[in-house]
Structure 1
Amino acid sequence: MTYPVISLFSGAMGLDLGLEQAGLKIMISQDIDPWCVKTAKANGFQCIQGDIRKLIAEDTECSFLLKPANLLPEEPFAVVGGPPCQPFSTAGKRLGTNDPRGSLFMEFIHVIKMVRPRFFVMENVKGLLSVAIKHRPLKERNEKPLKPEERPGSAFEIIKQTFAELGYKIIYGVLDAVHYGVPQFRERLIIIGSRDHEDIFLPKPTHFQVHQDPSYRWRTLREVIEDLENNPGPCASFSPERIRFLRMVPMGGNWRNLPPEVIPEAMGGAYKSSGGKVGFYRRLDYDQPSPTLVTSPIQKATMLCHPTQDRPLSVREYARIQQFPDDWKIEGKLSDCYRQIGNAVPLGLGKAIGQMLISVATKSAEIKTRRVRGTSVHKNMSEVQRITLETII
């Protein structure tokens, strides 16, 4: 059986590849970034390049997605994507700093409304759960109670309400990819919706920090990148000054492991700033999962230095940590490649979500068939319909 999927804001196709590993089929993808589109096409995917706002404005029925996928409304198994939820600059002034009604979230909603997929999957940053629509100036915070739109989480309340108005049952939660066989700590907010109100659920963890069976333990950097030490591929570089300090940091350490007398020089103005600053002069640990990959491994506050070599992680090592296959082509300049891979959803997390959707769909089909077959042919047809609907709803 085919499980056709429409992918929006597809990026480097991490979520999409994970879903395909689970058994789903990406029929069409879309992104505004030309390098992401070239990456998708270089790997055999059909991908539309364009601003989703303009694409929808020119074709409100979303045939630009349905036609190339050879699908009709209600036929897609799922629509998936991670819409950036920051508002448009003009809409932000009109609706409020973080109002999702002024963001690309509404384009995602419009596609769901027109396409009516059986399921949808939306991923985003976990901070979306606590964002307020409007932020009161700090000096006014204690003057009077917060208005509803000023309360933490008010933006997400609008998102939930909008999905409900479309008739979708939703579940959501923050999932850490490390619990799904990904050698990386990476938390993402996952929202899953069901058009037919099926028994969707968040995927159960498959990997744990401690387990008697090693195959169920967290995966480590050593497992996925140690064999690349002599052939890491294209790689950014640290400045000589940063290398000088990094050579003083042991595996798994950071700026706190520097000799006390050089810390002020190494840290500069950040030395007296607040916060843990764990990413400064960070050297990764082969025997631990990677920290969350970012769009560049050489930024001062989020360094990703190789465990044993005085260099950043390479693009190929980035891809290994995100679980892209070694033959996956990544188009663009070095910075474009880092950005695409660093922004991706790890394949293991996408696969876990896809497996859940297929299990729900398979279970629903089996229950429906069993109930209908077990109903007497002499019963009133309305009773048959009632039993079937009760099973699905």
Structure 2
Amino acid sequence: MEEVEQNQIVGGGGPARVPVRWTGGDVAVYAVKLERSDLLQLPVHPDACTEETFEQWCAERVANGARLAVDLFSGGGGLSLGLTDAGWTVAASVDHNKFALQTHRANFPGLALDVDLGDPKKRAALIRRLKRVDIDLIAGGPPCQPFSRAGRSKIRSLVDAGVRDEFDERKELWRAYVDVVLKVKPRAVLMENVPDMALGDDFHVVRRIVDMLEDVGYRTNLRLVDAWQYGVPQHRKRLILLARLDSDTFTWPSPGKAVTVRDAIADLPDLGLTTGGRELSYSPTGEVSDFAKVMRRGTNEETVWDHMTRPVRDDDREIFASMTSKTLYAHIDPSLRRYTAETFDDKYKRLDWDELSRSITAHIAKDGYWYIHPSENRTLTVREAARIQTFPDDFRFAGSRSHAFQQIGNAVPPMLGKAAAIALSPVPVIDKARQNRWRVLANHLAAWAEERRDGNYWCVLPGEQLTPPVAAVVAMLDPSPVELAAYTPGLREVASKRRVTKQAVDLIEQAAVRRVAAAAVTRLRQLQNDRRLWLHPQDMPEVLALPPGKTVLLKLLAGDDVLLTSQPVIRVSSRVLNTSSERANSLTDGRVDLSRLVGGDAKAPLRMAALRLVGQLHCHKQAPMCEGCPLARQCATARDSEFSDRLF
């Protein structure tokens, strides 16, 4: 086996083929010169302050009419830039990454602090500092790591046993974020995060945060936002939580038309076979888009910064040349592939000039295969990625090329941050007597459910009588409201014995009329003497062979905090909130709607089950029966119904 060294070079220059190490005669290692960019060191902003001058610096700006903001988990400053463009002065930012902090210190005035917010002592010192000045808004994107419901049960048992604390402050950083907010108590709050984190945990963390904010008087606004609607040239959904003390009105800017990849980067210089550089000549030959003109604000007219990318292997360049924006990895000549097409079906993606870009994420710091230039056979440059994230051309990123890509990919697009911040602009008159609509609605829904839990609906609304064995039987039978009375004797027997007995199965069999019920009876008959099963609720879904939907229903009825996304439930929330989630996006936007109605307190499972019952009793797809519905007064559909005179 022949062994040779790969050369290392620093600076510009194009890719070059070098000898390779052969392993087994048919697989080659990476065959391109390893090119490392320089480390860009940035100077501190001329209007920065120090920890010693921070209070005076803030006081002077407030005296001149500034509204001060704080950006926690700030990264390089995407959200800070959005706040600045919306009219705030970022007085302080907090992060724990040295290159992101250097980037922030260079691009913004104020104070950029290296603070581990998971450390209670350091967080307390930050809170003391912020309470001494007039902070109007706290923003940030705390990591909201989802944790499984099984994990929550395990943690709760350890907490109850005194083995561990209720939460790990270093991992559950959203708690640190909320702690700062609640103790500083600014007028407005802006929180941004990736929707997958919330969706993976049934919005449990987000609902808890909303409750904590509303408990101290904030009014909240929660929505999934696609960034392209606010000028960001990419598909990028983000979860935005807004809160304010001065109003319950959140007026977002009107969505605009899509900005394409061509609009975003077509004016930047072609690189040919080079990898670009830190400083290149800027002399566009065609028409410059309105978007590009905004990106060039305050920039030297003849220079573009950081227009540099990674070198490309010769075989990759050959692959890129054969691709269009529709080409999948499986379409590539098999002789040129280095990865399994079944596993890496979207390993390579060429962007389309006339479409939105795919989301720029931190993955771009590892490789750029997801972001192949629309016409050149290379991946995106730092400046192109920054443009697609809506960072202007005078915004520089400290560190190496990879550090810059990471900061860009992790950032909140500034234009999205600006749109969210505008929805928090101060109002001239504060209505201190206003009621919290969500609290009123949630309390009414819970009270309605508690009344019906005392009657025939006890077995479909979580409570003391609805034990896990009853929940399992109900999930298997899935009875309609009119069938509950017939099943009640058998279900009462299960509740009293806390397991399925022969007598219970006999009673249930007498009431069963549907085929699905007959199948459930057969399965229950097989398990009626299995005492161990009914003592271990966690085993029930598997032993009873429940499909996913019925498994979630069992957990809900047993009192677990889950979101049930059946069509009737989504229909109720969509109609009450007057959104389009009934018709589309039920698993994303629909869950946002549900989270507003369900809440995050101890009664969340009861409200969730109540919404299911409302869907069965009242909110039919055709001809809804609005009279008697507990949500009718809040529902746009009910206001338009034939019962509206009686309802209102």
Give TM-score scaled by structure 1 length: 0.74
Deviation of 1:289 after TM superposition, in Å, equals 1.6
* Matching of residue 328 in structure 1 with residue 328 in structure 2: no
In the superposition, relative to structure 1, how do residues 322 and 65 fare at CA in structure 2: closer, same or farther (>3 Å)?
Answer: farther
Partner of 1:254: 327
For residues 319 and 366 of structure 2, the distance between their equivalents in structure 1, rounded to whole angstroms, comes to 15
CA distance in 2 between partners of 1:164 and 1:22 (Å): 25
Contact 1:182 1:323 in 2 (8 A): yes
- Indicate whether 1:389 and 2:427 are aligned: no
1:304 paired residue among 356, 363, 371: 371
**Residues 1:188 and 2:228 are matched in the alignment:** no
Shift of the 300–263 alpha-carbon distance from structure 1 to 2, 3 Å rule, reads farther
Mapping 1:1-393, distance limit 5 Å: 1-45=65-109, 46-54=111-119, 56-58=120-122, 60=124, 62-63=126-127, 65-66=129-130, 71=133, 75-86=134-145, 94=155, 103-132=172-201, 152-196=202-246, 198-201=247-250, 203-207=252-256, 217-230=257-270, 233-250=307-324, 252-255=325-328, 258=331, 262-263=333-334, 266=337, 268-269=339-340, 271-273=341-343, 277=345, 279-297=346-364, 303-358=370-425, 361=426, 364-365=427-428, 367=429, 389-390=432-433
Q: Give a deviation string over 1:92-112, Cα, whole Å, max 9, x none.
A: 98469xx89751001101101
> What are the superposed Cα offsets for residues 7-31 of structure 1, whole Å, 9 maximum, x if unpaired?
1000111111011111111110010
On the 8 A contact 2:182/2:213 being kept in 1, the answer is no
Letter in 2 for 1:82: G
CA positional deviation for 1:317: 0.7
Query: Kindly tell me: are residues 300 and 318 of structure 1, through their superposed partners in 2, closer, same or farther at Cα, counting changes over 3 Å?
Result: closer
Q: Hey, what does 2:504 align to over in structure 1? A: none
Does the aligned pair in 2 maintain the 1:171–1:202 contact within 8 Å?
A: no
Secondary structure of 1:47 counterpart: strand
Tell me, yes or no, if the aligned pair for 2:390 and 2:415 is still in contact at 8 Å.
yes
Deviation at 1:121, TM superposition (A): 0.5
Q: Identical aligned pairs, as a percentage?
A: 29
Q: Residues of 2 paired with 1:60 and 1:247: CA distance?
A: 56
SS in structure 1 opposite 2:359? coil
Does structure 2 retain, via aligned residues, the 8 Å contact 1:130–1:156?
A: no
CA contact (8 A) 1:245 1:258 kept: no
Task: Name the CA shift for 1:343/1:59 in 2 (closer, same or farther; >3 Å).
Answer: closer
**CA 1:153–1:389 in 2, change beyond 3 Å: closer, same or farther?**
closer
8 Å CA contact 2:242–2:424 kept in 1: the answer is no
Distance 1:39 1:64 in 2: 25
The letter of the residue matching 2:331 is: L
Q: 3-state SS of the aligned residue for 2:220?
A: strand
- From the superposition, tell whether residues 313 and 103 of structure 1 become closer, same or farther in structure 2 (CA, over 3 Å): same
One-letter amino acid of the counterpart of residue 57, structure 1 = K
Letter in 2 for 1:191: L
Q: CA deviation at 1:188?
A: 0.6
**Residues of 1 paired with 2:74 and 2:223: CA distance?**
21
- Indicate conservation of the 8 Å contact 1:176/1:187, yes or no: yes
Contact 1:18 1:350 in 2 (8 A): yes
The number of residues matched between the two structures is: 323
Q: Which residue of 1 aligns with 2:599?
A: none
TM-score, scaled relative to structure 2: 0.46
Distance 1:347 1:201 in 2: 19
Q: Which runs of 5+ in 2 are unaligned?
A: 1-64, 158-166, 277-306, 437-648
The alpha carbon displacement at 1:298 in A equals 7.5
Q: Distance in 2 between matches of 1:300 and 1:333?
A: 14
Cα distance, 1:81 vs. partner?
Answer: 0.2
* Stretch deviating more after TM superposition (345-354 or 292-301): 292-301
Please give the alpha-carbon distance, in whole angstroms, between the structure 2 residues aligned to 1:236 and 1:246: 14
AA partner of residue 16 (structure 1): S
How far 1:258 sits from its partner (Å)?
Answer: 3.3
What SS is found at the alignment partner of 2:433? helix
Q: Which amino acid aligns with 2:239?
A: L
Deviation at 1:76, TM superposition (A): 1.6
- Contact map agreement 1:322 1:341 (CA 8 A) in 2: yes
> Partner letter of residue 117 of structure 2?
I
- The Cα offsets for residues 206-259 of structure 1, whole Å up to 9 and x where unpaired, read as 21xxxxxxxxx2111111211213365221233333222121102x23326835
Question: Cα distance 1:180–1:120, how it changes in 2: closer, same or farther (>3 A)?
Answer: same
Larger RCO: 1 or 2 (CA < 8 Å, sep 6+):
1
One-letter identity of the residue aligned with 1:389: K
- Consecutive unaligned residues of structure 1, counting only runs of 5 or more, are 133-151, 208-216, 369-387
Change (3 A) 1:264 1:116: farther
Q: CA deviation at 1:300?
A: 6.8
The structural deviation recorded for 1:2 is 1.8
1-structure distance, mates of 2:101, 2:262:
32
Whether the 8 Å CA contact 1:323–1:346 is kept in 2: the answer is yes
Q: Equivalent residue of 1:268, what SS?
A: coil
User: For the residues of structure 2 that align with 1:313 and 1:205, how far apart are their CA atoms?
Assistant: 30
Preserved contact between residue 15 and residue 347 of structure 1 (Cα < 8 Å): yes
Shift in alpha-carbon separation, 1:334–1:179, aligned structure 2, 3 A: same
Deviations 1:351-374 (A, max 9, x none): 11122211xx1xx31x45xxxxxx
Residue 82 of structure 2 contacts residue 417 of structure 2 at CA under 8 Å; is this kept in 1? yes
Distance 1:25 1:169 in 2: 23
Distance in 2, matches of 1:303 and 1:120, equals 34
RMSD of aligned Cα (Å)? 2.9
Q: CA deviation at 1:281?
A: 1.8
Structure 1 residues 236, 166: closer, same or farther in 2, change over 3 A?
farther
2:182 and 2:379 map into 1 onto residues whose CA distance is 44
Cα distance between partner residues in 2 of 1:280 and 1:229: 26
